[in-house]
């Protein structure tokens, strides 16, 4: 590729930072030669982990000792000043020095500081937090995951357009299939806002995605739909339920296969299948929530992930820029 993707990285957010952030950058750089990392944070600490592991033509460190902590409320984070690593990273995207920003820091702070710095895409009223989920056939985009507790039918319609555009950016060969998360698949089910959104979506035919109506919670993983839309309250509950269920299954399986001699023998016999199963449910593969609706993309890496998870969310950043996400949303809106 001829052009260099420029990623602004807040190196001080999340657990075990900046080490895991820098290790994630080093891993990502090992198979990506067309990315420039603008790294914001404590230069001395960053250099300790970075030393000569990346070509110096591929990164720059912007030294700042101030950072947003995980305990800060969004308001406290904004008041902490414009010299925090998170603020400066977001500001570099605002100034067009970088194409996209990523942080593993405080989610509420990231949303508020992004909204303070970046403009909304014209005709979109609220940004949404979206993420990737595994399904039987591949991946789904799910939004909103908690940025907006209450939504109007116009907001949900906007989320559908943004979610379909995001899916197309990440998977250019596939058709986005959009559905509204609801308590039933019949047209009469759900609250007035959902019904109103259904009507808008049904009346407004689009060449950019297929609208498949409603989807229930027990169908989220079956792969018939790949863009799932809801308000932030419902989406967040669904996300936490799915994460908790995946952890429960994995832990119970470990216990069952590690407990008795028969369990241990059967786990040895099934080792390749177990590895496949574990990989399928590995949350690091789906790391990187995307804050969309602003005129520059903002990616949130999970604060508790390790360097492999962070490296995967840098992949998401690259796909978003290569897939022209913001242009797609503007065209479709």
pLDDT in tens, 224-283: 999 999 999 999 898 888 878 877 877 787 777 666 676 566 666 566 666 665 666 566
* pLDDT value for 1: 44
pLDDT in tens, 71-117: 888 888 888 878 999 999 999 999 999 999 999 999 889 999 999 99
CA distance 82 to 28: 28
Range of the domain at 14: 1-119+294-325
Q: How many CA atoms lie within 13 A of 8 on its CB side?
A: 24
Q: Quick one: which of 99, 104, 118 has its CA closest to 319?
A: 99
Judgement on whether residues 85 and 134 belong to the same structural domain of the protein: no
Tell me whether residue 331 is in a domain: no
pTM of the model: 0.87
pLDDT in tens, 275-322: 665 666 566 676 778 999 999 999 999 888 889 999 999 999 999 999
DSSP string, 50-71: HTTSS-TTSEEEEE--B---TT
pLDDT in tens, 27-57: 999 998 899 999 999 999 999 998 788 888 9
Q: What angle do CA 10, 316, 21 make, to 5 degrees?
A: 30
Does residue 144 contact residue 128 with C-beta atoms inside 8 Å?
yes
- Go through 287-316 and write b for each residue having 16 or more CB atoms within 10 A of its CB, e for each that does not: bbbbbbbbebbbbbbbbebebbbbbbbbbb
Tell me whether residue 332 is in a domain: no
The label of the residue with tokens 């609208």 reads: 211
Judgement on whether residues 187 and 280 belong to the same structural domain of the protein: yes
Q: Is the peptide bond before 18 cis (omega within 30 degrees of 0)?
A: yes
Domain count of the fold of the chain? 2
Judgement on whether residues 194 and 92 belong to the same structural domain of the protein: no
Judgement on whether residues 97 and 142 belong to the same structural domain of the protein: no
Judgement on whether residues 137 and 107 belong to the same structural domain of the protein: no
């Amino acid at each position: 590729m001829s052009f260099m993707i420029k990623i602004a990285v807040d190196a001080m957010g999340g657990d075990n930072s900046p080490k895991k952030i820098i290790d994630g950058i080093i891993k990502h750089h090992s198979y990506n030669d067309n990315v420039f990392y603008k790294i914001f944070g404590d230069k001395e600490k960053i250099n300790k982990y970075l030393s000569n592991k990346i070509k110096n033509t591929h990164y720059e460190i912007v030294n700042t000792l101030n950072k947003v902590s995980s305990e800060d409320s969004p308001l406290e984070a904004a008041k902490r000043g414009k010299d925090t690593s998170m603020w400066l990273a977001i500001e570099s995207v605002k100034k067009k020095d970088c194409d996209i920003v990523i942080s593993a820091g405080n989610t509420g702070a990231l949303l508020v500081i992004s909204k303070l710095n970046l403009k909304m895409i014209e005709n979109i009223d609220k940004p949404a937090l979206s993420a990737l989920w595994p399904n039987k056939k591949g991946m789904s985009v799910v939004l909103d995951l908690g940025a907006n507790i209450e939504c109007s039918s116009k907001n949900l319609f906007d989320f559908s357009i943004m979610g379909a555009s995001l899916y197309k950016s990440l998977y250019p060969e596939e058709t986005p299939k959009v559905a509204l998360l609801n308590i039933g698949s019949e047209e009469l089910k759900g609250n007035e806002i959902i019904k109103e959104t259904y009507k808008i979506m049904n009346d407004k035919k689009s060449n950019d995605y297929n609208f498949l109506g409603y989807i229930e919670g027990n169908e989220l993983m079956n792969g018939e739909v790949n863009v799932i839309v809801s308000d932030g309250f419902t989406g967040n509950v669904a996300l936490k339920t799915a994460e908790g269920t995946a952890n429960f299954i994995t832990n119970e399986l470990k216990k069952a296969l590690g407990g008795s001699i028969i369990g241990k023998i059967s786990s040895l016999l099934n080792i390749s299948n177990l590895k496949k199963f574990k990989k399928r449910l590995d949350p690091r593969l789906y790391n990187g929530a995307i804050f969309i609706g602003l005129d520059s993309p903002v990616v949130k890496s999970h604060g508790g992930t390790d360097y492999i998870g962070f490296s995967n969310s840098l992949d998401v950043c690259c796909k978003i820029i290569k897939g022209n996400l913001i242009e797609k949303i503007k065209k479709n809106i």
